[in-house]
Amino acid sequence: MDSALEDECQAINAIYSADTLSVLSHDPIICSLNLPGEVNISLRLEFPSDYPDAPPSILGTQSVGDNVAKGQGSHAVDLAREVLAEVYQPGSPCIFDLVEEVNQRLQQYEQQSSQSQGHQEQQDAQRRGQQHSDDDASDTLPDELQSLDLLPSDKEPPWIISDPFTEKKSVFVARAAVVSSPAEAKSFLAHLLATDKKVAKASHNITAWRIHGPNETAFQDCDDDGETAAGGRLLHLMQLMDIWDVMVVVTRWYGGVHLGPDRFRLINTAARDAFVKGGYVKDSSKPDTNSKKKGKK
């Protein structure tokens, strides 16, 4: 095996896992490439003897896990071939760029497929005459919220709403409100999801709250709503800002482009904007009177 390919194997396996790029044979040079983001799919690649002066070939799948959806393996092969044609430059190793781009596009494809499936299910429900009316919107809430006593539809929680923040077509908006108990926080969230269809259909509604309870007790909780680790980061922001007796909901509408770690910055930026607008941030230059300054919507 050429030293350039050997060096690339070592680098790829150091970045991901020890068996990400494995040599299966030396004449011809056949390798197995496990996609890190799709651990149940591996591709079979053939490298020419003069790689990287000449591009590798993607022969097909090396293995496909039992729980992989039908057609997903073929889609991964087609996508990898498309990406390879875009990223390969004569004389330059290309496997790292291939892995990163294929993973991003597969994740985007899965999310779009999930959204399309949800849309199809909604259409099927409408055809069966099972679409709920606005009065029954609470039936679409998560199980843990359905049992709560919802606020009357005409009693809007005192939300303080941030400016919208947009990045690569993803939109982030935060809502913050004063709450006195976890039950009230959950009730506010349930009311929001039941009365605002646009929010209910968003990609994620990340929540966090910190509440002083009776007898010097304290309640802190958060929910990622599918945006992994986002809820914990939101709660950590509240801890750093020393914000109490407040809940926050950051809504994200996914724009089709992965933002990577930038999404956490935007989530926190939206939340911080709502906290500041609501007057929930303590002014260290003034004495603490234990009072909450309420902002205007």
Going along the chain from its start, the domains and CATH numbers come out as: 3-108 (3.10.110.10), 139-278 (3.30.230.30)
Nearest to residue 106, comparing CAs of 72, 156, 67?
72
Tell if the pTM clears 0.75, that is, is over it. Answer: no
Q: Residues 38-93: pLDDT tens digits?
A: 557 899 999 998 998 999 999 999 888 877 777 888 888 998 999 899 888 888 88
The dihedral through the CA atoms of 50, 53, 59, 62 has a sign that is positive
**Where in the chain does DSSP place strands (E)?**
21-26, 29-34, 41-47, 57-64, 160-161, 165-167, 170-178, 204-212, 218-223, 246-253
Q: Residues 93-123: pLDDT tens digits?
A: 899 888 888 887 877 776 666 555 555 555 5
